[in-house]
Amino acid sequence: MSGTRLFSRRLLATLLMGLGCSPPRPVEGVWRPGPGEDPDHIPGPMQNFGPFDTYPDALKAACPLILSKPNAAVGYLQASSPELARRAATEYCAWLYYTPEHQYEMSMLTDLSRPEDLVTGNKSCRLPPFVSDSRYAPGDLRYIFALHNHPFGTILSPEDTQFIENMASLHEWSIKLQDDREILLSIVAFFSRSKDPAAPSCDGFYQYVPATRSMTLWTQNQGHWQRELIDPEVWDKPKHRRIDKR
């Protein structure tokens, strides 16, 4: 048996081990609420991450961290084993938030999916609406980005855009920074185009901003980020309900 075939069989066996009926294995940095824990509050901050002085630096660090988690990027399996890729794909999500120290932190990740995913076969990640950071009072945190990965590198879904629109009714549309600049609440989906399962690369992310109803594709090329505004005719079907901030 060639080395490539042996590697492929070992990879398939590893992926299949996580698809049985046994409880999911613990993953470093991934939170799953236990008995008595509030499922609406995800703990923060993520250990060994930040804090960061700028949100671009925080995003650059969050992308490879999230994509390094098991089965966070499975595009490499689509051609050879599409059914296995669909079953193995896992979404992880977290909040990137702004603290009273004018720094950016990330909550722990969670990989909890919606109950209906068992029926539809879709993949999702249920991000709690609030972060619990014991260093600060709940009202002192400012929510910036709802972060997650798309295992197949696909565009943001209607469920993604609806989620962050719903969050815009709980959190501020925008926050003002120390230097009077503003950041708009948005949702981000990181993706990797790597063909090497052991080395997923951070190749870009999709971003949707409820306040402007705009979707952007950011791609990384040799360390430089390029921005492409996506036409609403591509993603906004059917038309979403426009929301008003209360």
Whether 1 has a pLDDT exceeding 60, the answer reads no
Residue 7: band (very low, low, confident or very high) from pLDDT cuts 50, 70, 90: very low
CA-wise closest residue to 175 among 164, 186, 188, 185: 185
Residue for token digits 């999916």? 113
pLDDT digits (tens, 9 = 90+) for 175-230: 888 777 899 999 999 999 988 878 899 999 999 999 999 999 999 877 788 999 99
Whether 3 has a pLDDT exceeding 60, the answer reads no
CA-wise closest residue to 170 among 94, 93, 246: 246
Whether 83 has a pLDDT exceeding 90, the answer reads no
pLDDT digits (tens, 9 = 90+) for 36-80: 899 999 999 999 998 999 999 999 999 999 999 999 999 888 778
Q: Residue 49, SS3?
A: coil
Residue 237: band (very low, low, confident or very high) from pLDDT cuts 50, 70, 90: low
Residue 229, classified by CB atoms within 10 Å of its CB into exposed (0-12), middle (13-18) or buried (19+), is exposed
pLDDT digits (tens, 9 = 90+) for 107-156: 999 999 887 776 667 788 999 999 999 999 989 999 999 999 999 999 99
Quote the pTM value. Answer: 0.85
Q: Distance between CA atoms of 178 and 187, rounded to whole angstroms?
A: 23
Residue 234: band (very low, low, confident or very high) from pLDDT cuts 50, 70, 90: confident
Structure tokens at 211: 């306040």
Residue for token digits 């409880």? 23
Q: What are phi and psi of 55, to 5 degrees?
A: -75, -30
Residue 232: band (very low, low, confident or very high) from pLDDT cuts 50, 70, 90: confident
Residue 238: band (very low, low, confident or very high) from pLDDT cuts 50, 70, 90: low
How many angstroms separate the Cα of 214 from the Cα of each of 51, 228, 240, 244? 28, 11, 12, 16
Enumerate the domain spans of the chain: 38-235
pLDDT value for 183: 94
Side-chain-facing half-sphere of 30: CA atoms under 13 Å:
22
Structure tokens at 142: 């400012």
